[in-house]
Amino acid sequence: MPTGVAMRDARKQLFDAAERVLLRDGPNALTSRAVTTEAGCAKGVLHRHFADFDAFLAELVLDRVARIEAQSAALRESAGTGTVADNLTGVLKDLFESVATAIVSLLTFRDELRARLRETMPTGIPLLTEAAAMITSYLAAERDLGRIDADADLETLAMTLIGTGHLLFAGTDGTPPPTEAVHKIVTTITGVVRH
């Protein structure tokens, strides 16, 4: 993008560009130059909106966390529709076919990014912690409808689904596992689901 041409919603364009680089090339390739080149803008645009590159990355993670929080209400509202296993399969596929797996790799790769996020998110792994909370909330709604056993440990179920889902998706070469594989782990883990 030529100098002097205003970008519409620069933050969103930069976040989307970072996500594309991260998904395509991995955390090692994610640099400010790679992001601005992908976004088609001058490197200064990033630094005009963010104090430094790690501040940019922290905001990227927080933006993706906010997306999960928005999805949580929709998932809760789906309680009582379809099957629990199908709903959970869908949410795991949506989560891990997005940038979540790549962001976990990024968090592992960048110490400064983890340190910045610890200031506002002191526990857990960002994105995965919020995803587990989303699933716990959904399972509680399903339990209230009688579709999950009353004595089920919902937090453990949610964390197990997230951890196993992450392992399943992270263990691929970028090609997501088949839906049947995701459905199998969901039905195995959620053996407390009433049929």
In three-state secondary structure terms, 193 is strand
* Average model confidence (pLDDT) across the chain: 88
pLDDT at residue 188 above 90? yes
What's the rounded mean pLDDT across residues 7-27? 88
Amino acid found at 18: A
- CA 183/CA 4 separation, integer angstroms: 50
70-127 tens-digit pLDDT: 889 999 999 999 999 999 999 999 998 878 888 888 888 888 888 888 888 878 888 8
Residues 6+ apart with CB under 8 A from 75: 87, 91, 134, 135, 137, 138
CA 26/CA 105 separation, integer angstroms: 8
For domain 61-189, say whether CATH 1.10.357 is its number.
Answer: yes
User: According to the model, what pLDDT value does residue 105 have?
Assistant: 85
Mean pLDDT, rounded, for 56-63: 93
| pLDDT exceeds 70 at position 195 | no
The rounded distance, in Å, linking the Cα atoms of 109 and 28 is 8
Phi, psi of 52, deg, nearest 5: -160, 180
The ranges assigned to domains in the chain are 1-49, 61-189
Residue 139 β-bridge partners: none
CA 161 to CA 166: how far, in whole Å?
8
pLDDT score recorded for residue 1: 42
d(CA 150, CA 142): 10
**What's the pLDDT score for residue 182?**
96
Look at 2 and 100; give whichever has higher pLDDT: 100
pLDDT of 8: 67
Name the packing angle between helices 111-118 and 100-109 (round to 10°).
100
Average of pLDDT values for 169-182?
85
Please name which of 95, 25, 14, 20 lies closest in space to residue 57, comparing C-alpha atoms.
14
pLDDT of 138 higher than 50: yes
d(CA 57, CA 30): 10
The answer to whether 1-49 and 61-189 have equal CATH topology is no
3 confidence band (pLDDT: 50, 70, 90): very low
The top-level CATH class assigned to 1-49 is mainly alpha
Q: Rounded to whole angstroms, what are the CA distances from 83 to 76, 87, 143, 163?
A: 13, 6, 13, 21
pTM of the model: 0.85
Instruction: Give the closest residue to 17 by CA, choosing from 73, 56, 65.
Output: 56
